[in-house]
Amino acid sequence: MIARIDTTSIISPDVILGEDVTVGPFCLIGSNVIVGHGTTIGPYTRIEGPVRIGARNRFFGQSSIGTEPQDLKFRGEKTELVIGDDNVIREFVTINRGTHGGGGITTFGSSNFMMAYSHVAHDCHVGSGVIFANGATLAGHVEVGDFSTIGAFSAVHQFCRVGEHAFIGGFTVVTQDALPFVKTVGSRPAKTYGVNTIGLERRGFTRQSIEAVQRAYRILLRSKLRLEEALVRIEIELADVPEGRYFAEFVRSAKRGIIR
């Protein structure tokens, strides 16, 4: 089916709309935008290019997508936003394009769920299967791993990372890297509260994998070993467990330190 466009919407002539795209009332879609098939764009949505949007996304309305980065260093250079497939973008969400200094691109994976008023800033790289609760906010240059959850009204400081399958509780302030598989909660300072066991079970992790993650967590944070000693022990004892290897690699590559 051809795209269905409400007569009240304004769309640049060079916009490319895939099959079966629906554009609701009073939308504004600027130049250099590509929208994949089956995507629904709700009323009053604003999209500014360069933006590439994949298939079957749902924009519920009043969202602002691909707008200029909120960065004083931005001087109008050409940057872009790339969004994957099957995302749900609720009301008043904002996702900004990248900056030249940050690599020029913001990426947003597939099957993510962004609740109302959540925000992804410039040069962020968000994986897939991520949940942003209401008002969750990423500053610039943040990396978010697959299947993580950012709780309501939580904020992630620029250049920080959130590991895969991490759970960030509501109203948390993340100023260092948040460990994968782990629950992180609190405001200045945030702290860890054990492994996100329920989340891992829901994702189909085996009991053996969950126990390996729990062991890695205990070695790192409960053994009283120095950081390097703990990492070496994890790498030796969990060498055959992918989750254990990833856990150690994540900590080793932290540039801002980790939340403990």
Contact predicate 166/143, CB 8 Å:
no
Domain boundaries for CATH 1.20.1180.10 within the chain: 200-252
Contact predicate 173/154, CB 8 Å:
yes
Q: Mean pLDDT across the stretch 4-30? A: 98
Q: What's the CATH number of domain 200-252, 3.40.30.10, 2.40.110.10, 1.20.1180.10, 1.10.10.60? A: 1.20.1180.10
| Residue type, position 180, single letter | P
Residue 226 has pLDDT above 90, yes or no: yes
Residues facing 75 on adjacent strands = none
Topology (CATH level 3) of domain 4-141: UDP N-Acetylglucosamine Acyltransferase; domain 1 (2.160.10)
- Determine the pLDDT at residue 198: 95
Condensed to tens digits (0 to 9), the pLDDT of residues 244-255 reads 999 999 999 999
Q: Mean pLDDT across the stretch 156-162? A: 98
56 dihedral zone (left: phi>0; alpha: psi -120 to 50; beta):
left
Residue 207 has pLDDT above 80, yes or no: yes
Q: Mean pLDDT across the stretch 131-140? A: 98
Nearest CA to 170 out of 159, 186, 156 is that of 186
Backbone angles phi, psi at 236, to 5 degrees: -80, -50
| Residue type, position 239, single letter | A
Domain boundaries for CATH 2.160.10.10 within the chain: 4-141
Local confidence band at 256 (pLDDT 50, 70, 90 cut-offs)? very high
- Determine the pLDDT at residue 1: 72
- Determine the pLDDT at residue 251: 98
Q: Mean pLDDT across the stretch 30-55? A: 98
- Determine the pLDDT at residue 2: 83
Q: Mean pLDDT across the stretch 80-101? A: 98
| CA-only gyration radius of the chain, Å | 20
| Six token digits for residue 129 | 């299967």
- Determine the pLDDT at residue 229: 98
Tell me what the pLDDT averaged over the chain comes to. 97
Residue 188 has pLDDT above 90, yes or no: no
Active site residues: 122-123, 140
C-alpha distances out from residue 159 to 126, 141, 183, Å: 13, 5, 20
Say how many C-beta atoms besides its own lie within 10 A of residue 68's C-beta: 13
Q: Mean pLDDT across the stretch 165-173? A: 98
**CB neighbour list of residue 233: distance below 8 Å, 6 or more residues apart:** 219, 223, 225
- Determine the pLDDT at residue 11: 98
Condensed to tens digits (0 to 9), the pLDDT of residues 234-246 reads 999 999 999 999 9
Residues facing 11 on adjacent strands = 29
Residue 222 has pLDDT above 80, yes or no: yes
Query: pLDDT above 90 covers what percent of the chain?
Result: 98
Residue 112 has pLDDT above 80, yes or no: yes
Q: Mean pLDDT across the stretch 43-53? A: 98
